[in-house]
Structure 1
Amino acid sequence: MIEAQSRLVLNREEGLLASVRTLGGLRSWRDALVQANTRQDGSYGCALGALCAQLPDDDEQSRSALAAAFERWHELLIETLARLRDLDVRTSDADPHKLGTGLLAALQGGYILAQNAHDPQPMADALDMALDRIDTFANR
């Protein structure tokens, strides 16, 4: 089940992030995630995050599989942010690893808050704050 959910989430993310070439494209990625979260009939959560919460602490094999999926997600965000730097959309002093970590943390925290509130707005707000930080490194 973890492998199937991981493939589903990561394939979606690869598809969405592969075309990001501008900061507006990153905002479109955000919009797609928030809109998809809105259509989940009130569940409003992340499939991988939900699996993390359900695992017993001693299930190392499952935790390892989920850690690998989250690491790949993190790598996709880092690759996207590095691409924006390489395309001269962002300044060279912006650290793609740090910004990718913050963006993934905002996304996962947003999913949890949206799930708890049965409202996608907390997710949108969390992602907006992370993207606003990324925008501070825009080449103008």
Structure 2
Amino acid sequence: MVDPPVNSEGTRLTARGAATRERIVLAAAELMAAKGVAATTLDEVRIASGTSKSQLYHHFSAKDALVREVVTYQAQVVLERQYQLLRGVSSFAGLRRWRDAVLQRNVLRSGAHGCEIGTLAAELSDTDEAARQALAGHFATWEQLLADGFRRMRDNGTLRADADPATLSVAVLAAVQGGYLLAQAAHDAEPMRVALDMALTHVETFATPTTGL
């Protein structure tokens, strides 16, 4: 059984309170994605979420608590999407389908906006230690999703026995994040395409001789 959500003081929330809290987090996530964390004020979140000052401070007594909740929310969205794309990957064809889905989403946004958690990491990692640790954990989860796919490919003979799933997952995720950043700066998905293709070409160097690419 899932425990009821709680506010920043640890008080369990009613269904109505949980809905208000969710509305605040969603509004904050949207504003912080558009303006950045530092430039987003609690008054702006209050207005965007349609809540009173007392409601806002009942759920989040300080901005830091709201920021951490936004980190959790954005990570859940990103990681669920990645889980759905990566959970069945066990071949190069599956890996390319993942690549196509990641790239297509970037194409539809003309390269803009970047990665939801990558953007937060860039802004918070040197100023908010708690947020940095949380984000590092979320990236580790993403790496694990990739590594699980590479491990399946190694186990079924698609990749050679000397392929290291953990190392390959770091390389591919670094390409994803670098691709997001360059595409965001260019407002063009082409840097993402190049980065992903180079990363998958590297993975292909570990293909077994019998693997059809």
How high is the TM-score relative to the length of structure 2?
A: 0.63
Counterpart check, 1:71 vs 2:140: yes
Q: Provide, for residues 23-70 of structure 1, a one-character-per-residue CA deviation record: whole Å limited to 9, x for no partner.
A: 011011000000011223652410111111222623111111111100
Counterpart check, 1:137 vs 2:206: yes
Distance 1:56 1:86, change over 3 A: closer
Report the alpha carbon displacement of residue 137 of structure 1 after superposing the two structures with TM: 1.1
One-letter identity of the residue aligned with 1:125: V
In 2, distance between residues paired with 1:93 and 1:57? 36
How high is the TM-score relative to the length of structure 1?
A: 0.95
In 2, distance between residues paired with 1:118 and 1:127? 17
* CA RMSD, 1 decimal: 1.3
Query: Secondary structure of 2:133's match?
Result: helix
Question: Which residue of structure 2 aligns with residue 21 of structure 1?
Answer: 90
Which structure would you say has the larger Rg? 2
Q: Provide, for residues 75-126 of structure 1, a one-character-per-residue CA deviation record: whole Å limited to 9, x for no partner.
A: 1111111111011111111111111111011111011011111111111111
One-letter identity of the residue aligned with 2:178: G
The answer to whether the 8 A contact 1:44-1:120 is kept is no
In 1, distance between residues paired with 2:125 and 2:139? 18
Q: What residue ranges of structure 2 are gaps of 5+ in the alignment?
A: 1-69
One-letter identity of the residue aligned with 2:194: D
In 2, distance between residues paired with 1:87 and 1:55? 40
Question: Which residue of structure 1 aligns with residue 5 of structure 2?
Answer: none
Q: What residue ranges of structure 1 are gaps of 5+ in the alignment?
A: none
Counterpart check, 1:2 vs 2:71: yes
The number of equivalent residue pairs is 140
Question: Which residue of structure 1 aligns with residue 191 of structure 2?
Answer: 122
4+ residue stretches of structure 1 with deviation over 4 A? none
